[in-house]
Chain A
Amino acid sequence: MNIQALSAQLLVGLINGSFYALLSLGLAVIFGMLNVINFAHGALYMMGAFCAYFLLNLFGIGYWPALIIAPIVVGLFGILMERSLLQWLTGLDHLYGLLLTFGVALILQGLFQNYFGSSGLPYAIPTELQGGVNLGFMFLPIYRGWVVIFSLVVCLVTWYLIERTQLGAYLRAATENPTLVRAFGINVPRMITLTFGFGVGLAALAGVLSAPINQVRPLMGADLIIVVFAVVVIGGMGSIMGSIITGFALGVIEGLTKYFYPEASNTVVFVFMVLVLLLKPTGLTGRAT
């Protein structure tokens, strides 16, 4: 066994796992409040990366400010989307939310493809994070280590916000029973809008993080979102920590597959989903519904 190659694939797996975790976390938070599966999540992730690209190439604003600005800009776009489109779906079957956001994803991806083609645009790694360190058993590019650790921190902060703070308590209460929470004088529609913006911001953040690794492409989120759906099915959307752990774990499983049986690396998450559905249909962390 080649430790060097194995740990390199594990690192790639952890990075993909970071994106799975950030995206499935956003999907779970949005679904909890809006009862909508956001099919446009992949397109919004792509917009995050493009936002960082524009900031750099049009305004000369670098990676570090982009890490804050891009999620806010795309999050505001998400808020606009919720106010103008999604809010009218309240009370309709879930499937309309999925169809509407699928339409939004097609519009966004089509528009970006029109103007930027399908090839990737380069985005340089910030100077502070260039190079790497030799850990003895492997060479660790600093940027990749940063992505994993930073994503993990963002995920844990989100978990803390939702599970351990007063604001999170309101949020969880509104997920369970919005009418009752409104009766206590809390502005639930505003909370729904902000939650959607927050979930979209997480997707955009993942997009900025991935820009230096995966290049900036109009379709970068199109296939990713399908894998994230499988992750969501495996983990279940009931638990925040569940989404985070499942996201990272599946990234690692995918990385291991790339080393041991590369032919199956595209399909392993889906195969894993089938196994979970057969053995534990409610998902690993989900409760029976």
Chain B
Amino acid sequence: MTSITSDPRTPIAIRAARDEATGFVIMTVLLLLVPFSGIYPFFVMQALCFALFACAFNLLIGYGGLLSFGHAMFLGTAGYVSAHASKEWGFPPEFAILTGAAASFGLAVITGYVAIRRLGIYFAMITLALSQLIYFIYLQAPFTHGEDGIQGVPQGKMFGFLDLSNPTVLYYVVLGVFLIGFLIVYRAINSPFGEVLKSIRENEPRAISLGYKADQYKLLAYILSGTLAGLAGGMKVFVAQNASLTDVHWMMSGEVVLMTLIGGLGTIFGPVVGAFIVIAMQQYLAGFGQWVTVIQGAIFVVCVLAFRRGIVGEFAHYFKRSL
């Protein structure tokens, strides 16, 4: 018999929510302590930008089952627009980042409308081709300064008082933006919208027969994912102080796939772990030239053949936890 105070959720859902809350607290505490640890803060800030990028990407592939092979177009577009808004128009950082995210939102609406017309394996090819189209546009457009990129973006003061040229302040701002983005993704996954998205991933014809408009849900997931990837791109500009073609290149789209795959597709913390691993790898192996590419390729192969749950996914599976 249930008492008045009973929770309407199943015991499994309660346990899952508790695991995830524990994970979130541990992650947040660790990240809050970084400036006192002696770890190079620039590395962690960069990793946080990519972690948000990967979380946004994971929303689409892990919960919507849609593989976008062109997500760099959102990171890069927001980067260019934020850098331009900050440097040429003199926008304060918060507006510059939001303008960048808004540009990615617009791009996601347009490309989503085109890409969603063919699903399955075609979707990956279409998004890749679209991002290559965007890449060539930026290569030729005058405002991106072609191969040079937009250099020396001023960091400025966020909300008029947070001086972003101070590394510690910048770190906590980046952490704050990351946590907001992370919680938006978490909320989306656990909302009725997220549940419908998962049901479409599992069995699309059945979801359609229940009256859900599958295409609209997928498009919405794509737009949300693109916009959040844009938020990551806008924030990244204030860390790196430049915007360049690297962020729009297909290699970047491949990297975000790799981060999510290593960490675990469809896990909540996987993309964050994956982003830190990939960025650390690039940092420490920078002297080895193209061997980094070879290693990344080998990780793809190993992950697909033997390790499809990813690190967090395997961990969660082994300990029967939800992470």
Contacts and interface: CB of A to CB of B under 8 A. Distances in A.
Nearest to A232: B125
A268 B49 CA distance: 33
B293 to A, nearest CB: 3
B103 to A, nearest CB: 19
Contacts of A229: 125, 128-129
A124 interface: no
The residue among B128, B130, B308 with the most chain A CB atoms within 10 A of its own CB is B128
Interface string B120-146: 111011101110110011011000000
Given A114-B291, A263-B140, A271-B133, A102 B126 contact: no
A76 B296 CA distance: 24
A112 to B, nearest CB: 9
A103 interface: yes
The residue among A103, A111, A266 with the most chain B CB atoms within 10 A of its own CB is A103
Given A37-B125, A95-B67, A111-B294, A100 B132 contact: no
B297 to A, nearest CB: 3
B297 A110 contact: yes
B6 interface: no
Contacts of B292: 110
Nearest to A109: B293
A274 B70 CA distance: 15
B99 to A, nearest CB: 25
Interface in A230-289: 230, 232-233, 263, 266-267, 269-271, 273-274, 277-278, 281-283, 289
A102 B67 contact: no
A161 interface: no
A108 B117 CA distance: 33
Given A94-B120, A95-B124, A226-B250, A107 B297 contact: yes
Contacts of A104: 297, 301
B11 interface: no
Interface residues of A, number: 45
Contact of A102 (B133, B254, B294): B254
A93 B118 CA distance: 16
Contacts of A283: 118
B114 A277 contact: yes
Contacts of B126: 233, 273, 277
B192 interface: no
A180 interface: no
A95 B129 contact: no
B305 interface: yes
A96 interface: yes
A103 B124 contact: no
> Which applies to chain A's interface (DSSP): helix, strand, loop or mixed?
helix
B129 A107 contact: no
B128 A226 contact: yes
A73 interface: no
Contacts of A49: none
B137 A100 contact: no
A254 to B, nearest CB: 13
B313 to A, nearest CB: 14
A96 B308 contact: yes
A66 interface: no
Interface in B124-181: 124-126, 128-130, 132-133, 136-137, 139-140
B130 A106 contact: no
Interface string B284-318: 00000111111011111101110010000000000
Contacts of B129: 226-227, 229-230, 233, 269-270, 273
A144 B300 CA distance: 38
Contact of B305 (A31, A85, A113): A85
B118 A233 contact: yes
Contact of A266 (B124, B136, B300, B305): B136
A106 B124 contact: no
Given A100-B300, A103-B301, A277-B118, A110 B293 contact: yes
A16 to B, nearest CB: 15
B261 interface: yes
B257 interface: yes
A94 B118 CA distance: 14
A107 B301 contact: yes
Contacts of A282: 118
Contacts of A94: 120-121
B114 A99 contact: no
A114 B290 CA distance: 6
A98 interface: yes
Contact of B300 (A95, A102, A109, A223): A102
A113 B290 contact: yes
Given A106-B296, A263-B140, 19 more contacts: A85-B301, A98-B67, A98-B121, A98-B124, A100-B301, A102-B257, A103-B298, A103-B301, A104-B301, A105-B297, A106-B293, A109-B293, A113-B293, A226-B129, A230-B132, A232-B125, A266-B139, A270-B129, A273-B126
Interface of A: 31, 37, 85, 88-89, 93-96, 98-100, 102-111, 113-114, 223, 226-227, 229-230, 232-233, 263, 266-267, 269-271, 273-274, 277-278, 281-283, 289
5 contacts: A37-B125, A99-B67, A106-B254, A107-B298, A113-B293
6 nearest interchain CB pairs?
A: A103-B300, A106-B297, A110-B293, A107-B297, A110-B294, A270-B133
